[in-house]
Amino acid sequence: MIEAAHRQGIAVVSYQTFYGAKLDSKGPWPPSLAERPELAIFDRRAVRQRTIFADGVYGLEDQCELCPNCTEVADDAVAEAVEIAATGIDGLFIDCAFGYNPCHGEALRVHDHIYSEKDIAGLLKRD
């Protein structure tokens, strides 16, 4: 498809989001929350947070939001972006404009965070 578009002088830009995973997702991206439940965003009550699309018409009722402040999630997202970019596309639009939900995973000792909440305070939504 990319080569056919390029032959016609059409640039190809991939649209990606790296925000959530279904409980039964199979790798490489997104990581499987069935196998790695600790990668989700957790609220104060230690409940995994569902994505903003979980209640829509998309069939994503079991989709949870991934914690982008975890090393593994961040590294996996970058690796996936590099892999997509290597396909010969002309651009990669990463849509993560909805902000970062607070995650209590580190305080609950579920996972470690890369940055402290103080360091990313300007990015946080309030829960």
Position 47 scores a pLDDT of 86
- Asked if omega into 28 is within 30° of 0 (cis), the reply is yes
The string of DSSP letters for 20-62 reads EEETT--SSSSPPTTT-GGGB-B-TTSPBPBPTTTTSSSS-TT
Position 72 scores a pLDDT of 86
User: Taking the model in full, what pTM does it have?
Assistant: 0.73
Torsion sign, CA atoms 71, 17, 30, 110: positive
Position 5 scores a pLDDT of 94
Position 119 scores a pLDDT of 77
Spatial CA neighbour of 63 closest among 25, 28, 120: 25
Position 3 scores a pLDDT of 93
The strand pair at 63-65 and 20-22 is best described as antiparallel
pLDDT digit string (tens) for the chain, length 127 residues: 899 999 999 999 998 887 776 666 565 556 666 677 888 888 999 988 877 766 766 666 677 888 888 888 888 888 888 888 899 999 999 877 566 778 999 999 999 999 887 777 776 665 5
d(CA 18, CA 94): 8
